[in-house]
């Protein structure tokens, strides 16, 4: 169950900034705006943290990130470390370190090359030998050939974090509205002048769209093209269980992290499933490079979500019920075959988990961009409109840093990191952004 964030009741007539979306990126943006004294209101169609921000695996890591993301990941880790104090609440953050387990010499070489690149950012990480891996993960019985350990990485609790940050933003003056879908924007002389919600209008100077997987649909109505596709991941958690595995552990076919409740969250970082939807054809050319890189581990299907999107309207009047009200929360069922394979791989590497009961399973949808790098940017075509989305499975850990950066852009302050790699215009200016292979 996701913790419920506190909420406000009456919409204001006006706000300086309206944030659309109550995931980790949206609430972090609201927090850093409110800290600066900005009059900010956040509107969420369902409940705070209801979609992927509560369904992810809880990793707060800079290890193995794209070099374009790494500076923001490092800043975000710093912000996570002080977040409980900042919001006067419990996000579940703990600094535990993270460990990428290697099973071959080739993986070690790839990890070593990545670490060489990462040193330009003073990233505190190191390679570990097979013998040290056996000490750090004694239950593995020597299953790993080595690894890469990032001592400053950590973890937080997805069901707790976004609501705690939203509550912290509210203590600083932000207004939080749940079950309050934004149907669209009003423009004056081409510039943002108001949002229209299902409960009324809020006049504003700026809007931050933190809509996750809904962002493409919202922008399409405004004539803005955002290449974005959704892929489904599945995860599970165990009952509380004593294990010597302390850092979050990332393997070839499973990942593992300790929870505050004493259990473990388990998933496969590479096993995903995507529905064939109209956007699959609209953006096929944008994703060609990613598809050629990852097709061996990516499954396709034509399921319930595909049917819904094939029949969904892309245009509606602002006085009509919108798609954002028709589906408040994306809640996909977990894919049992993927979870079965994940559990099998886990037990093969760590036999102590063979008889540990599974307490819960769930699914979630990741919003993925063609280069697997987020968009944190203004939209030049519509002055006053900003976009923060497309985290491609990295959003939870990057959330506070991304929210800080977005607050910088909205207020015109010096950015916490160089935002160039996150600009929306990379999809329209001929940059032809491509993903970088991980390890």
Can you tell me the distance from the alpha carbon of 258 to that of 246, in angstroms, rounded to the nearest whole number? 7
> pLDDT digit of tens for each residue in the chain (439 aa)?
788 899 999 999 999 999 999 999 999 999 999 999 999 999 999 999 999 999 999 999 999 899 999 999 999 999 999 999 999 999 999 999 999 999 998 999 999 999 999 999 999 999 999 999 888 888 787 789 999 999 999 999 999 999 999 999 999 999 999 999 999 999 999 999 999 999 999 999 999 999 999 999 999 999 999 999 999 999 999 999 988 787 899 998 999 999 999 999 999 988 888 888 888 889 988 888 887 776 556 777 777 777 787 778 888 999 999 999 999 999 999 999 999 999 999 999 999 999 999 999 999 999 999 999 999 999 999 999 999 999 999 999 999 999 999 999 999 999 999 999 999 999 999 887 888 876 7
Q: What is the pTM for the complete model shown? A: 0.96
End-to-end alpha carbon distance in the chain: 33
Contact between 51 and 364 under an 8 Å Cβ cutoff? The reply is yes
Tell me what pLDDT residue 303 has.
Answer: 72
Contact between 419 and 404 under an 8 Å Cβ cutoff? The reply is no
The residue with tokens 């589906």 is 327
Cα torsion 263, 269, 270, 276: sign? positive
Can you tell me the distance from the alpha carbon of 297 to that of 360, in angstroms, rounded to the nearest whole number? 24
Instruction: Estimate the share of the chain in helix, then strand, then coil, as percent rounded to the nearest 5.
Output: 35, 25, 40
Strand order in the sheet with 17-20: 175-177, 40-43, 17-20, 206-209, 385-389, 375-378
Q: Per-residue b/e over 213-236, b at no fewer than 16 CB within 10 Å?
A: bbbbbbbebeebebbbbbbbbbbb
Can you tell me the distance from the alpha carbon of 59 to that of 152, in angstroms, rounded to the nearest whole number? 12
Can you tell me the distance from the alpha carbon of 305 to that of 276, in angstroms, rounded to the nearest whole number? 9
Q: Per-residue b/e over 157-174, b at no fewer than 16 CB within 10 Å?
A: bbbbbbbbbbbbbbebeb
Length of the chain: 439
């Amino acid at each position: 169950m996701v913790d419920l964030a506190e909420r406000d009741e009456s919409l204001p007539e006006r706000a300086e900034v309206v944030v659309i979306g109550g995931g980790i990126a949206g609430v972090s943006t609201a927090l850093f705006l409110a800290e600066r004294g900005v009059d900010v209101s956040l509107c969420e169609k369902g409940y705070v943290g209801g979609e992927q921000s509560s369904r992810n695996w809880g990793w707060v890591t800079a290890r193995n990130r794209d070099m374009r993301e790494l500076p923001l990941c490092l800043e975000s880790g710093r912000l996570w470390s002080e977040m409980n104090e900042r919001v006067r609440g419990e996000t579940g953050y703990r600094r535990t370190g993270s460990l990428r387990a290697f099973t071959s010499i080739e993986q070690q070489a790839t990890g070593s090359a990545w670490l060489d690149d990462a040193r330009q950012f003073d990233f505190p990480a190191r390679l570990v030998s097979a013998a040290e891996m056996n000490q750090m993960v004694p239950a593995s019985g020597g299953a790993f050939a080595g690894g890469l350990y990032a001592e400053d990485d950590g973890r937080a609790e997805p069901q707790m974090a976004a609501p705690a940050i939203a509550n912290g933003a509210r203590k600083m003056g932000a207004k939080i509205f749940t079950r309050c879908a934004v149907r669209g924007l009003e423009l004056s002389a081409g510039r943002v002048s108001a949002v229209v919600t299902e409960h009324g209008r809020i006049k504003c100077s700026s809007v931050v769209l933190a809509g996750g997987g809904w962002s493409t649909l919202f922008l399409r109505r405004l004539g803005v093209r955002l290449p974005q596709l959704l892929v489904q991941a599945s995860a599970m958690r165990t009952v509380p269980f004593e294990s010597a595995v302390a850092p979050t552990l990332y393997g070839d076919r499973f990942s593992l992290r300790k929870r505050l409740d004493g259990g473990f969250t388990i998933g496969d970082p590479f096993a995903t499933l995507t529905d064939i939807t109209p956007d699959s054809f609209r953006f096929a050319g944008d994703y060609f490079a990613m598809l050629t890189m990852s097709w061996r581990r990516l499954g396709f299907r034509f399921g319930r979500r595909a049917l819904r999107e094939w029949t969904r309207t892309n245009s509606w009047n602002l006085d009509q019920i919108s798609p954002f009200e028709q589906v408040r929360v994306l809640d996909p069922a977990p894919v049992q075959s993927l979870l079965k394979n994940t559990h099998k791989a886990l037990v093969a590497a760590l036999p102590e988990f063979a008889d540990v009961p599974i307490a819960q399973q769930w699914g979630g949808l990741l919003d993925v961009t063609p280069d697997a790098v987020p968009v944190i940017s203004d939209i030049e075509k519509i002055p006053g409109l900003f976009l923060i989305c497309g985290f491609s499975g990295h959003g939870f850990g990057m959330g506070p840093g991304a929210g800080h950066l977005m607050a910088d852009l909205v207020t015109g302050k010096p950015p916490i990191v160089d935002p160039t790699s996150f600009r929306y215009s990379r999809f329209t200016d001929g940059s032809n952004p491509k993903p970088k292979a991980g390890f």
